[in-house]
Amino acid sequence: MGSWISFDKDNESVAKVKQYCESVVFVQFYGQTNDLKGSTDSINGKPKSELGHLLSELDKEVRKASKIEELEITKSMKNILRKMAEIRVCMADCETVEDCHQKLLNDAERFQAIYQKRGHESEVLEEKHSFYWGTRQQLLFGKVICDWLATQDSEKAPMDPIFGTLLNPTGGRVGPGDTGFFHDSLFDDMGPFAYHSAVHDGFGYLITKHKTGPGYAYLNKGLFGDWSPFGGQLYGIKYWEKICEKYHPDRATLEQFIFL
């Protein structure tokens, strides 16, 4: 681990990563900010959906803790999660708002433990990019984080993707960190750059911050290793070009998507 060249994954491991990647192609999220095939849905650069606003407010509450170890799930956070439950509730599974709220509260406790164990604040999503809160892209990144963290505890289901976004709010944006040029220029909604950015950022974040997941070179190809953001870029984009050509998510109807 830590090598700049990654050739240590076996074929079975890479196959599992590819299987996971294909599983997220037709995923959407209740309350996501941007429309199915539209560009980022915003008003004057601010998130249009209530979920985007609530995520931003929840992030601010998390940052109020003067020390990482002092983070608590406050009454204000619980109230925000209640409002989120009204948006995130999965009625298709006969879930009630109360059920969803309780799940979010339980997930918040798990988030608290993970956040404190990590030992530092999350990267800041700048105000000028606040429209990114609650987008499908951000939540897709969050799903990757929560899915793979759950593999460390097989008895528990993944946390809600919102908690993955709170661990790294800039995750999934095209380009390094919270820079705007690359994302504005290359983000393609349901194209190869978008999907690659979500999983590449997710897998890279997981290995560098939590020592789990396949890392940046998630397909085990390239000159840079699992711990370098340069790792897996070219091969990852080429892989997603083939996947998008195979499934055409940009042409898909609403009925083809699974909502989480």
Q: How do residues 237-256 score in pLDDT, each as one tens digit?
A: 999 999 999 999 999 999 99
CA–CA distances in Å: residue 189 to residues 74, 134, 250: 35, 14, 8
Count Cα neighbours of 8 within 13 Å in the Cβ-side half-sphere: 12
What are the phi and psi torsion angles at 143 (to 5°)? -65, -45
The 10s digit of each residue's pLDDT in 62-102 is 999 999 999 999 999 999 999 999 999 987 777 899 999 99
Rg over alpha carbons for the chain, rounded to the nearest Å, is: 18
Mean pLDDT confidence for 124-139: 92
In degrees, to the nearest 5, what angle opens at C-alpha 227 toward C-alphas 16 and 152?
50
30 vs 95: CA distance, rounded Å: 13
The 10s digit of each residue's pLDDT in 143-177 is 999 999 998 877 689 999 999 999 999 999 875 55
Stated pTM of the model: 0.88
pLDDT of residue 189: 79
151 vs 146: CA distance, rounded Å: 9
CB 137 within 8 A of CB 172: yes
Q: Identify the residue with better confidence: 47 or 3.
A: 47
As given in the structure block, the two tokens for residue 255 are 């009925």
